[in-house]
Chain A
């Protein structure tokens, strides 16, 4: 079976990097190729301050490749191959683009085990990092998107990596994984100004909002963490920030650490340094703008 046909090679993204997962996407269709390139351009394998650890080092071609080709089974649909194997077939082009974002996210977690990973939003303000750890449905991505809209640097809305430097002296750096921001239908209204250009089938379930150059949404730099904000969207709540103890911050982070177990004692000690280093707050919110104002006010006291 050919890994890619000649057509699919015609419209390829540059090499991209999702933490330590390095990949490229090639599309048979020029319009889809341009769309995917724009969507994923924030993951350009430039200097995001991350060293790839999967055997495909910087300067080498990305070792993983998606190809999107016309589906023989359904007119206008595409099949997706990853490293030559068919992984999805018969998808609308817009759905295929969203599927790539989802799959890259999964593989970013799988390939980046050298870092301590959190299911968390992440932001950067004047070199200070903010973690927004929370379960799905808690308003994590919405709050992250709202804060990016105010001008904060975007690290991720889903998976934040803490670099473990091994020295044990500081908390380590948060690394950017600036995937497109995924916005669920319940937040379309409050983030209406971020509605992306969409292809057929895209946006029925979720928006994938591009970030980085030309979007007005800045990608953050690798940074030392300073804040942990645990969000909880509650339509009946009064929007308020409440300080957390170091113990509460530690367990909020532990609860959302993706790979604490493989890091064992090293990971738990890193978690302890992180909790000790960061100011922690819980943020119940019913009003996104009010929540963003509270967070910005908080940053003003430190940044």
Chain B
């Protein structure tokens, strides 16, 4: 995955095999392959939930900015940072480019 990832047009996809458990406002992710369990807070969990391969990063940012208008200004940076972290952990990958 390139250092500039994710660009606005890239489509992040959750890796199969990662199991998500919803807890309070958080999500626990258990990854059999990486033998990893991590806790996503509500913001990171919202990003994770949108990584279903149907949206570009730009669309994710717009959708979350609409849902959380108070944080709209920093939403782009936050989403990209979260996606980079999830990618580092092997929990999301770059899907096929948007058509």
Bound pair (A, B): yes
Tell me the A residues contacting B by CB distance below 8 Å: 245-247, 250-251, 254, 260-261, 264-265, 267-269, 271-272, 275-276
Decide: B23 and A247 in contact? CB cutoff 8 A: yes
- Can you list 26 A-B pairs, Cβ within 8 angstroms, ordered by A? A246-B24, A247-B23, A247-B24, A247-B26, A247-B39, A250-B28, A254-B37, A260-B30, A261-B35, A264-B19, A264-B30, A264-B32, A265-B17, A265-B32, A267-B30, A268-B19, A268-B28, A268-B30, A268-B37, A269-B19, A271-B21, A272-B22, A272-B23, A272-B28, A275-B21, A275-B23
- Binary flags per residue of B6-19, CB closer than 8 Å to A gives 1, else 0: 00000000000101
Contacts of A272 in B (CB 8 A): 21-23, 28
A264-B35 Cα distance, complex, nearest whole Å: 9
Chain B residue at minimum C-beta to C-beta distance from A273: B21
A260-B28 Cα distance, complex, nearest whole Å: 14
Decide: A246 and B23 in contact? CB cutoff 8 A: yes
Contacts of A246 in B (CB 8 A): 23-24
Lowest 5 A-B CB distances belong to which pairs? A272-B21, A265-B19, A268-B30, A264-B32, A247-B23
A261-B36 Cα distance, complex, nearest whole Å: 9
Residues of B within 8 A of A (CB-CB), count: 13
Contacts of A275 in B (CB 8 A): 21, 23
Contacts of A260 in B (CB 8 A): 30
Q: How far is the CB of B27 from chain A (nearest CB, A)?
A: 9
Chain A, interface SS category: helix
Chain B residue at minimum C-beta to C-beta distance from A270: B21
- Tell me which of B17, B21, B22, B39 has the highest count of chain A C-beta atoms within 10 A of its own C-beta: B21
A260-B37 Cα distance, complex, nearest whole Å: 11
A268-B39 Cα distance, complex, nearest whole Å: 13
Given the known interface contacts A247-B39, A251-B39, the answer about A265 and B30 at a Cβ–Cβ threshold of 8 Å is yes
Chain A residue at minimum C-beta to C-beta distance from B18: A265
A268-B35 Cα distance, complex, nearest whole Å: 12
Given the known interface contacts A247-B26, A247-B28, A250-B28, the answer about A269 and B35 at a Cβ–Cβ threshold of 8 Å is no
Chain B residue at minimum C-beta to C-beta distance from A266: B19
Q: How far is the CB of B87 from chain A (nearest CB, A)?
A: 21
